[in-house]
Amino acid sequence: MMAVCRVFAGDLAGTSRAGASHQGHAAWSLAPLIRRLYEQAREAGVHEIVQACLDEVDRLAGARVGWRGVCDSAEV
């Protein structure tokens, strides 16, 4: 999951910002996945994965890729 986020925030960042592109749609699909992984890791107390999820959310937000929807929860 983290490697996929890095690709979308890196090499595919430009095309991933366009919601009409395949990459854009796939990037938007990352938000609920990374959020769910974060929630599961937090509930299980796996702090390394929690931090990795937060790092990837930061990376995606910094690249302005698929970040809307990731931080809808006040708990994130």
Per-residue pLDDT tens digits for 36-46 = 999 999 999 99
Q: Is residue 7 situated within a structural domain?
A: yes
Using pLDDT thresholds of 50, 70 and 90, give the confidence band for residue 73. very low
**Rg value, the chain, Cα:** 12
Q: What is the residue range of 29's domain? A: 2-62
20 within a domain of the structure (yes/no): yes
**CA neighbor of 67 nearest in space, from 33, 30, 41, 40:** 30
Q: Is the pLDDT of residue 68 over 90?
A: no
Residue 12 covered by a domain? yes
Please give the mean pLDDT across all residues of the chain: 80
Residue 75 lies in a domain: no
Question: Which position has the token pair 């890791």?
Answer: 41
Q: Is residue 8 part of a domain?
A: yes
Report the domain count for the chain.
1
Whether 67 is covered by a domain: the verdict is no
- The answer to whether position 22 is within a domain reads yes
Residues of the chain with pLDDT > 90: what percent?
28
The pLDDT > 70 percentage for the chain reads 72
Residue 24 lies in a domain: yes
Residue 68, sorted as left (phi over 0), alpha (psi -120 to 50) or beta, turns out to be: beta
pLDDT of residue 21: 63
